[in-house]
Structure 1
Amino acid sequence: MPPKESAVDLSKHVDKSLRILLAGGRQVSGTLKGYDQLLNLVLDEAVEYIRDPEDPLRVTDNTRPLGLIVCRGTAVTLMAPTSGMEEIPNPFIQQEEAVE
């Protein structure tokens, strides 16, 4: 039986910076150094974005360095390249204000 191929090709993202959202709400970013068919990720120079203690669903700009980490593929819910990312205003907040 041939080896299983992954549904996602991450080869174009190796040695590039990614932001990862993990199950449970934690967010990390770092340089993708490797991965396997189960989408376990190896990130170098990783940093974790600290959640707001008042609102655990909101992530702050505060970070803590993690170094070299492995993210289990089963815990990864979202991957996005950090180049080209920008924060935009929440369009739903504007709609709610107009309704009130």
Structure 2
Amino acid sequence: RSPLAPPKTPNMAGALQDWLNHAVCIITNDGRNIVGNLRGYDQTTNLILENCHERIFAPDEGVEEVPLGLYIIRGDNVAVIGELDEAMSQALDLSAIRAQPLKPLVH
């Protein structure tokens, strides 16, 4: 690398490539929490998830998991995406977790 070359910065495509075929957790702009295995993506961050479910949080009862199966999320609706630690996720007692649902993202 040339000493004058700008430093390489991480980008979303590089992170998504590393997470292919791994469990990920996505927070959407409308406040949904979706967990599944990342099977594909494109340059606009459209995501394809397999074995997917939505986690619905409520202040007065445990987390409800709604199965979604194979699911596509438009890239312009992705607020946050991260790799999910499957062992830690499976160890959670979701029925004991109480939380306010996330509010939609406001630009």
TM range (shorter): 0.5 to 0.7
Aligned to 1:90: none
Q: Corresponding residue for 2:67?
A: 65
More strand per residue:
1
Matched position secondary structure for 1:39: coil
1:21 maps to amino acid: I
Q: Secondary structure at the match of 1:45?
A: strand
TM-score of the aligned structures, taking structure 2 as reference length:
0.64
State the alpha-carbon separation in 1 of the partners of residues 19 and 82 from structure 2: 10
Report the residue type matching 1:64 in the other structure: V
Aligned-pair CA distance for 1:37 = 0.1
Asked if 1:34 corresponds to 2:36, the answer is no
TM-score, L = length of structure 1: 0.68
Taking the TM superposition and a 5 Å limit, the aligned residue runs for 1:73-92 are 73-83=75-85
Identical-pair percentage: 32
Name the CA distance, whole Å, in 2 between partners of 1:39 and 1:64.
23
2-structure distance, mates of 1:15, 1:61? 25
The count of residues paired between Structure 1 and Structure 2 equals 77
Aligned partner of 2:22 in structure 1 is 16
Instruction: State the AA in 1 paired with 2:41.
Output: Y
The answer to whether structure 1 residue 25 and structure 2 residue 27 are counterparts is no
CA distance in 2, matches of 1:82, 1:11: 15
Cα deviation, 1:6-61, whole Å, max 9, x if unaligned, reads x4121110000000000111110000000000000000000001132x58xxxx52
- Aligned-pair CA distance for 1:62: 1.6
